[in-house]
Amino acid sequence: MKKLHIIGIIIIAIAIGVIFISLKNTSTYADFTEAINNPNTEYHVVGKLDKTQPQIYDPKINADEFLFTLVDNKGIAKQVVLHKSKPQDFEKSEQIVLIGKMKDNEFHANDILMKCPSKYNDNKAQIN
Structural domain includes residue 19? no
Angstrom CA distances, 85 to 6, 54, 105, 113, stand at: 47, 16, 21, 13
Amino acid at 87: P
Residue 32 lies in a domain: yes
- 10: in domain: no
CA angle 27, 38, 112 (to 5 degrees): 40
Give domain status of residue 104, yes or no.
yes
Is 21 among the domain residues?
A: no
pLDDT tens per residue across span 14-44: 998 888 777 665 668 899 999 999 998 899 9
In a domain, 112, yes or no: yes
Count of domains forming the chain: 1
Q: What is the model's pTM? A: 0.70
| pLDDT tens figures, 83-93 | 999 998 898 88
Asked if residue 13 belongs to a domain, the reply is no
Query: Is 86 within a domain?
Result: yes
Q: Residue 65 belongs to what domain range?
A: 28-117
